[in-house]
Amino acid sequence: MTDENDKRPDDGEPSDIRSTSITDEMRRSYLDYAMSVIVSRALPDVRDGLKPVHRRIVHSMYENNHTPDRKYVKSANIVGAVMGQYHPHGDQSIYDALVRMAQPFSMRLMLVDGQGNFGSVDGDPPAAMRYTESRMSKAAVAMIDDIDKDTVDFQENYDGTKEEPTVLPARFPNLLVNGAGGIAVGMATNIPPHNLGEVIDGCLAYIDNPAITIDDLMELIPGPDFPTAATIVGRSGIRSAYNTGRGSIIMRASATIEEIRKDRDAIIVTAIPYQVNKATLQERIAELVREKRIEGIAEVRDESDRQGMRLVIELKRDAVGEVVLNQLYRFTSLQTSFGANMVALNGGRPELLNLKDMISAFVDFREEVISRRTKYLLSKARDRAHILCGLATAVANIDEVIRIIRTSPDPNTAREALMGRDWPTGDIAPLILLVDDPKHPMNEDGTYRLSDAQARAILELRLARLTALGRDEIGDELQTLADQIRDYLDILRSRARIMAIVRTELEEMKALHATPRLTEILDSDADFEDEDLIQREDMVVTVSHAGYVKRVPLSTYRAQHRGGKGRSGMQTKEEDFVTYLFVANTHTPVLFFSSKGRVYKEKVWRLPLAAPQARGKAFINLLPIEADERITSIMPLPEDENQWATLHIMFATSSGTVRRNDLSDFVQVNRAGKIAMKLEEGEQIRDVSICTEADDVLLTTALGQCIRFPVPDVRVFKGRDSMGVRGIKLEGEDTVIAMDIIAHREISPEERAAYFKMRRAVAGEIENGDNGVEEAEETGEASVEISTERYAQLSAEEQFILTISENGYGKRSSSYEYRITGRGGKGIVAMAVNQRNGKLVSSYAVEHSDQIMLVTDGGQLIRCPVDGIRIVGRGSQGVIVFNTAEGEKVVSVERVSDEGDEDEEGSEE
């Protein structure tokens, strides 16, 4: 760059060359370019909702009479006219804009009526412009109607040879109805389409009450209405977009699950989200199926036709339709979001507008259009009335007019003579005062001088107009114009009348073009939790002594008769063995209690899914437990956490301590867990169960003792770090092996004995051996009689306690044999403990229809029905339930409330 001071007069540089800073020049040039893109290319005008290219297409089609009542013309013809006269930016960009205005899946109210291939929702490109034909739609006519009545401003085209409108009169709020999208420099716009009828209702409400709130407007305009229909999930995104101009609107395909043939369901998609490519969507689904990210889909086919869209996603026989559909929503564009960014030109400047801003700008624009149109019509009416006043004056003075014309040597002389004298006005004086031009006022004496235009009109007057009929026609037309002028003046003087016209024209547009809403708006939230993608299925959860856990579908295990050999439940190492097993739904929340008295919470589906013989995954890799910490008790919870407020949780430790807390204390458990119970050295949480005030607690020890006491005997502890109170007094090395919560039933010893006696009589049993009553009561005979009704009541309320020993022996005993005592005693015999039976491993209440699963420390597992286990006395030894292998012991027993299928006795699956 040359400095000004370095220039010499003799350099010979032209006088119009000057030096400038390259930084300033780049800044200025870039700003000019940016403003050109923003104002003249990428952003729509808030008034008519059109970008310059769309506006030019509509104007050119109107100018060349490509209206709905004319025949279609080649699109190339239209594109050529637009490019040659208004838009010198290449034919392809013009044709792309024209094509979009003719696509029913892009526009909520099409502005171009196309004939031929204009593309498809599958992403197929339109045919070349030489093959397709187009014309204006009726909605486009409404956009440009009254443009010839000085309703909008015009500007020169790019070469100054023609004029083009800066905005179209737009009889409906096109920006909201059809939306817009564009990327400018430093800003972008993305406005969703809406329903015409709803938007007009919103405009009418704004006209009635300019102070209306956006919430009130949303009662009339609940949300976007996409041309591809589908659904909108949730209203938060809509509310944000309408209030702030920005918001993420969740769109979801319309899909149903139908049975297409026996035992085979399919997901039927009838509408997809706006701007989603159906062919690309199918490819994405197929890709997810190949990658096994979505399982359960057998086939995807497109059955769409002229009647509508129909995408069939056929499912496998074992697939759950709701789960697969949720997975499709999660991983494909069957659910996507529309990022609303409502930027438009307002007064020539880009602005981020809310819903009310857009409606306000349109209504104000329509008010201006009506006002300008009325002024134009008033001007035209006055011009015509001015001529008619001259003709009426000539007719009223026809003899003098004829004399002047006959005596004048030429037309100019006659014209000057007519203009050079005062003419009496007669009956038309009031009309002249109303309609005449101020430049030619009426004189004080009531006479009137003709203007040049009036004199020329008189000279061109045909003789036929001098007849009585002709004179009446002039008078009637003048009177009609006078009425119109009065009306126009009244409109211009009254804003209320202008707004009434705006309202009337909007109502007419609604009657002509409004259609029912296509997009359904759902109130539910669209945010999926991971568990929404997991089907509900019963799982067998197995835990090993070394801290490995896994889940296996319950359907994997088939029922066997008691005494069967079972099947492998977990592949364990020699030093490891299975210690715990339970059955729960995949959506069941589970509390895990550790040896250090902490509690952790997880859903069953988060546990590792594995084969029956697999080892599983270590707890230390699933839960944030320490290296010397292990899980000692596991408790499945009700899925509905709203029920937790009325329930309590009962803790039992290996040393016989119990504690009761509100279950609601464990609703919120952080990922890191929290303290559940304070423990003594060497003490462990043996069991945890849900209970109510109407329940009893049954504690059973390894050496065969048990105690039953009411839940209210244990007060509700407010803290989670307390130690609790004594539940049972243990002898020697005895430990608590099980706790169960059973229904509280009051029954006297005499009534109990009478009940057992009647039950034996009903069953036809002989009173000898194992008859199901305590020895003391058996020898003492029933001292009371019970009625049939009381017997039926006791029979309905009776529960049976299943007790299993480590050597695989078990029995069922009546809950009436477990008498209720006070908390803290030594208890009574639960089952004979000897060399045959071994120590007890489990004891809890079961139903006749239940099944149980037993697992050994060697990993063997059996599932058998409860009704095959004999009902005997509480102190009896029991019968063989699990024929364990030599050296193996039963370590866990779990109830399964599902009868399932049965194999042959002793058979393996």
Mean pLDDT of the 169-183 span: 93
Give me the domain span that covers residue 273. 254-333
- Respond yes or no: is residue 548 known to be catalytic: no
Long-range (24+ apart) CB contacts under 8 A made by 626-632 are 626/596, 629/594, 629/595, 629/596, 629/598, 630/547, 630/594, 630/595, 631/543, 631/547, 631/549, 631/592, 631/593, 631/594, 631/595, 631/600, 632/593, 632/594, 632/595, 632/684, 632/685, 632/686
302-352 confidence digits (pLDDT tens): 999 888 899 999 998 778 788 888 889 888 999 999 999 999 999 888 999
In this structure, are 506 and 593 located in the same domain?
Answer: no
In this structure, are 759 and 859 located in the same domain?
Answer: yes
Identified catalytic residue from 131, 158, 816, 818 = 131
In this structure, are 599 and 675 located in the same domain?
Answer: yes
781-819 confidence digits (pLDDT tens): 445 778 888 888 888 888 899 999 998 999 999 988 898
Q: Are 340 and 190 in contact (CB under 8 A)?
A: yes
| Count of domains observed in the chain | 4
Q: Are 782 and 790 in contact (CB under 8 A)?
A: no
**Within-domain flag for 29:** no
**Within-domain flag for 206:** no
Q: CATH number of the domain that 157 lies in? A: 3.90.199.10
In this structure, are 609 and 742 located in the same domain?
Answer: yes
Q: Are 344 and 265 in contact (CB under 8 A)?
A: no
The residues near 434 (Cβ < 8 Å, ≥ 6 apart) are 385, 482, 485, 486
Res 469: pLDDT: 66
In this structure, are 319 and 453 located in the same domain?
Answer: no
835-892 confidence digits (pLDDT tens): 888 899 989 888 888 888 888 888 787 878 888 888 888 888 888 988 888 888 888 8
**Within-domain flag for 222:** no
- What's the CA gap between 319 and 317, in Å, rounded? 6
- What's the CA gap between 896 and 866, in Å, rounded? 9
Res 537: pLDDT: 80
Res 899: pLDDT: 40
397 vs 899, higher pLDDT = 397
Instruction: Name the band, by pLDDT with cuts 50, 70 and 90, for residue 906.
Output: very low
**Within-domain flag for 195:** no
**Within-domain flag for 311:** yes
Assigned token pair, 593: 């209690």
**Within-domain flag for 316:** yes
Instruction: Assign 708 to helix, strand or coil.
Output: strand
Instruction: Name the band, by pLDDT with cuts 50, 70 and 90, for residue 641.
Output: low
In this structure, are 127 and 269 located in the same domain?
Answer: no
**Which of 333, 357, 382 is where one domain is finished?**
333
564-591 confidence digits (pLDDT tens): 555 555 555 544 556 677 788 888 888 8
824-849 confidence digits (pLDDT tens): 998 999 888 888 888 999 898 888 88
Instruction: Assign 252 to helix, strand or coil.
Output: strand
Q: What is the dihedral of CA 842, 843, 848, 854, to 10 degrees?
A: 0
Instruction: Name the band, by pLDDT with cuts 50, 70 and 90, for residue 250.
Output: very high
- What's the CA gap between 202 and 221, in Å, rounded? 6
The residues that bridge with 351 in the sheet, in sequence order, are 344
**By C-alpha distance, which of 369, 376, 371 is closest to 167?**
369
Res 767: pLDDT: 44
| Overall pTM surpassing 0.85 (yes/no) | no
Res 232: pLDDT: 93
**Which of 283, 311, 333 is where one domain is finished?**
333
Query: For the chain, what is the mean pLDDT?
Result: 84
**Within-domain flag for 338:** no
In this structure, are 495 and 542 located in the same domain?
Answer: no
Is it the case that residue 561 has pLDDT exceeding 60?
A: no
Mean pLDDT of the 1-21 span: 60
Percent of the chain at pLDDT > 90 equals 39
Instruction: Assign 479 to helix, strand or coil.
Output: helix
Res 775: pLDDT: 40
Question: What is the DSSP secondary-structure string of 387-419?
Answer: HHHHHHHHHHTHHHHHHHHHH-SSHHHHHHHHH
Mean pLDDT of the 690-715 span: 91
Is it the case that residue 634 has pLDDT exceeding 90?
A: no
Range of lowest pLDDT (79-88, 155-164, 670-679): 670-679
Instruction: Name the band, by pLDDT with cuts 50, 70 and 90, for residue 30.
Output: confident
257-275 confidence digits (pLDDT tens): 998 887 788 999 999 999 9
- What's the CA gap between 895 and 909, in Å, rounded? 20
Res 680: pLDDT: 81
- What's the CA gap between 659 and 717, in Å, rounded? 7
**Within-domain flag for 79:** yes
**By C-alpha distance, which of 194, 192, 197 is closest to 249?**
192
Q: CATH number of the domain that 313 lies in? A: 3.30.1360.40
In this structure, are 706 and 598 located in the same domain?
Answer: yes
Instruction: Name the band, by pLDDT with cuts 50, 70 and 90, for residue 529.
Output: low
Q: Are 540 and 556 in contact (CB under 8 A)?
A: yes
In this structure, are 57 and 159 located in the same domain?
Answer: yes
Mean pLDDT of the 534-541 span: 79
**Which of 149, 169, 189 is where one domain is finished?**
169
Range of lowest pLDDT (243-247, 248-252, 635-639): 635-639
Is it the case that residue 446 has pLDDT exceeding 60?
A: yes
Instruction: Name the band, by pLDDT with cuts 50, 70 and 90, for residue 1.
Output: very low
Q: CATH number of the domain that 872 lies in? A: 2.120.10.90
Sign of CA dihedral 782, 787, 791, 793: negative
In this structure, are 555 and 440 located in the same domain?
Answer: no
Res 904: pLDDT: 37
In this structure, are 421 and 565 located in the same domain?
Answer: no
Percent of the chain at pLDDT > 70 equals 88
Instruction: Name the band, by pLDDT with cuts 50, 70 and 90, for residue 493.
Output: very high
Q: CATH number of the domain that 423 lies in? A: 1.10.268.10
In this structure, are 495 and 552 located in the same domain?
Answer: no
Res 778: pLDDT: 43
The residues near 17 (Cβ < 8 Å, ≥ 6 apart) are none
Res 776: pLDDT: 38
